[in-house]
Amino acid sequence: MKNKPLTYILLIAVGFIWFKVFVRIKSNLTQEELSGADGDRVELLQLPMSRDTFELAANYRDPFLSSSVKSKPQNTPGNELPLAPVRKAPYHWPSIRYFGLVKNTKSSKPLAIVKFDQVQLMVRENDQVWSDIQVRKIYRDSILVSHGKDKKIVYRN
């Protein structure tokens, strides 16, 4: 019983330390963003970027041909290169997932469950999806979709 006051003092000290620990944990969990001294957002200074262009002088000796490489002639009004034919960029298909088909006993046309770019639809054969994709044929394990002359087979997941 002679150490009773010391025990109370140590209990108060331990309680104070745990209080500080919980306050720090709570402040770290609830703090949403770092802010400046006044609580205002800190804006970063963006410097303008300029493109630095230069030409390399490729007049070094070729180790395989034992001759020097000549640099390309500059394009002058009389020395123009012919233009390459413009090619059409390939069509970028949306993400298509086929989940299966539903068949009614009274109807002969199957109904497919398909997801086009996070939009789930129930489509039949020859249905137009949006304005450019058409479901051509529905099978048990896959569907045939087309965009113009491009065709794609999507298998069931």
Other Cβ atoms closer than 10 A to 61: 9
Note whether 20 and 26 are within 8 A (CB): no
Q: Chain-wide mean pLDDT for the chain? A: 79
Residue 125: exposure state from Cβ atoms within 10 A (0-12, 13-18, ≥19) = middle
The two tokens of residue 61 are: 């000796």
Determine which of 25-29, 50-54, 109-113, 145-149 has the lowest per-residue pLDDT on average: 50-54
The predicted-structure confidence for 84-126, as pLDDT tens digits, reads as follows: 676 777 778 888 999 998 888 888 888 999 998 888 999 999 9
CB contact set of 104 (below 8 Å; sequence gap of 6+): 111
CA angle 89, 93, 96 (to 5 degrees): 175
Q: If you average pLDDT over each of 34-38, 48-52, 123-127, which comes out highest? A: 123-127
Indicate whether this model's pTM tops 0.85.
no
Determine which of 71-75, 134-138, 145-149 has the lowest per-residue pLDDT on average: 71-75
Task: Give the CATH number of domain 96-155; options: 3.40.720, 1.10.357, 1.10.10, 2.30.30.
Answer: 2.30.30
Residue 137's pLDDT band (cuts 50, 70, 90): very high
